[in-house]
Chains A and B, each alone.
Chain A
């Protein structure tokens, strides 16, 4: 009997591992495929039967440098936009989240309602009236347009994340500091901020991933100088002369690597952030 149970348990284990491998192949397989293919010579990419063994080469990356100078400036733009969004986001959402967590009053509850409602507005709808305005004030095709838009659209998520983390930090700590004669700003910077660090990392990871990967606004609001990497990759896909897959794979790999590293290193913060900021109390 116990032997039978043991065998059954083993069988279940094998099936579960099988399912896991299937799920991982589905989610990570395509990404791995592109990364690997970016190191293949075109003759190894364009085969009827996919090739497992090949001589690695940086040929495609050379082609990318030669054929798509746009891509390198777009990587720079993406970096700039990502950093800018994170900084502006931190400056705006830390104080707001603090107020939402610690204070009561009409201004606070209106802000709360506000932050829930703006999630209902389809982003593309807002781009229609913004476009003429941004053209008028010369913001179109600058990183600034994207920094402002990304911050405005993602702020609701980060504020909820930070608020949830702040709710978990006892108020008494600050109050003790106030009584000892510490100013409110100093108390925030020296007592609350260090405890809030994991929350800031969570919010930062989510904001950075969003700004690095965003496609729709970048497509609408950047056209020549300020193009971000996703926009250039989508242009490479629609080349009239047929897609040059080698450079596309190289560009995709360069664009997704930083984000993958963030997911790997910041997994804990990402999971926490999405859970708190997205949808749950």
Chain B
């Protein structure tokens, strides 16, 4: 410890470490401890061993939320990254007024989850929403986007993907720009078609970045909260309640902080399982000396 304190640069990182310790790390550890108690806000803390976990794991609503969360993450990440790849390939072709198009494609990135929910709640409105207007004028008919239990999850995913896609676009687009030109020249000299170029040149060169984007988006979408809460609050009939909303309900509706902490700990364990290799790898690459 003493050696670390005397280390060069300790003073420079200390304030930041202190803040992160106090606001993120210690609360996270405390939450893990709380998950072994039966703490409710305002009540004394009594240790109960694994009791809270048993309650959580016996709650069918938890399992429903977990299942929906899985469906949500898989659909959302594949749409975001797949769509993001297509859009970035399109933008990479280059257009007149390129800067304008890029800015307009990135625009959802600048929108708050609450505002995104407001916009789409209107667009998907049953009686006056433009989406239903289009659907009914092409003969599909009006759909109860936000009221139908099975459609609601789809709606929530649409909104989430709309908001999150620019992130993948930005990263993949700048990765494409950074690819070496010579490889393409060589490929086209050898008579490769543009699809072959994509399949055998672009995709392999892009795959490390793609992998990182996928992992990153897995972590982030796994904890999706704001969009869904502002749009449906987990309804109708809890059909859009993901794990984070379940946690919020336990914690800030029933003030059952032990339950909420147990769910949170399970979420953390899942996140770490998905990403442990990625953390190890990026740490190694950045600090291998």
Chain A positions within 8 Å of B, measured between CB atoms, are: 16-17, 19-20, 23-24, 26-28, 30-31, 33-34, 37, 45-50, 91-93, 95-96, 98-100, 102-133, 148-149, 151-153, 155, 159, 209, 212-216, 219-220, 229-231, 233-234, 236-238, 243, 245, 248-249, 252, 255-256, 259-260, 262-264, 267, 270-272, 274-275, 278-281
Contact = CB atoms under 8 A, between A and B. Distances in A.
A263 B114 CA distance: 18
Contact of A280 (B9, B105, B209): B209
A116 B101 contact: no
Contacts of B119: 30-31, 33-34, 252
Contact of A24 (B41, B101, B114, B287): B101
Which applies to chain B's interface (DSSP): helix, strand, loop or mixed?
A: helix
A252 to B, nearest CB: 5
A185 B59 CA distance: 58
Given A209-B109, A233-B118, A121 B28 contact: yes
Contacts of A96: 12-13, 15-16
A116 B24 CA distance: 13
B179 interface: no
A255 B233 contact: no
Given A129-B30, A278-B216, A280-B209, A270 B117 contact: no
A228 B222 CA distance: 25
A252 B174 contact: no
B234 interface: no
B130 interface: yes
Contact of B279 (A116, A129, A272): A116
Contact of B118 (A116, A127, A248): A248
Which applies to chain A's interface (DSSP): helix, strand, loop or mixed?
A: helix
A48 B23 CA distance: 50
B20 to A, nearest CB: 5
Given A24-B105, A111-B16, A274-B170, A215 B41 contact: no
Contacts of A116: 279, 282-283
Contact of B17 (A111, A213, A274): A111
Contacts of A106: 3-4, 7
A260 B30 CA distance: 39
Given A33-B119, A128-B260, A92 B213 contact: no
B282 to A, nearest CB: 6
Contacts of B187: none
Given A24-B101, A233-B118, A119 B251 contact: no
14 contacts: A31-B119, A96-B16, A103-B8, A111-B17, A118-B24, A120-B268, A121-B28, A125-B261, A128-B261, A148-B23, A260-B107, A263-B107, A270-B170, A279-B213
B13 A100 contact: yes
A264 B101 CA distance: 10
A93 B73 CA distance: 32
A279 B214 CA distance: 10
B104 interface: yes
B153 interface: no
B121 interface: yes
A171 to B, nearest CB: 14
Contacts of A229: 112
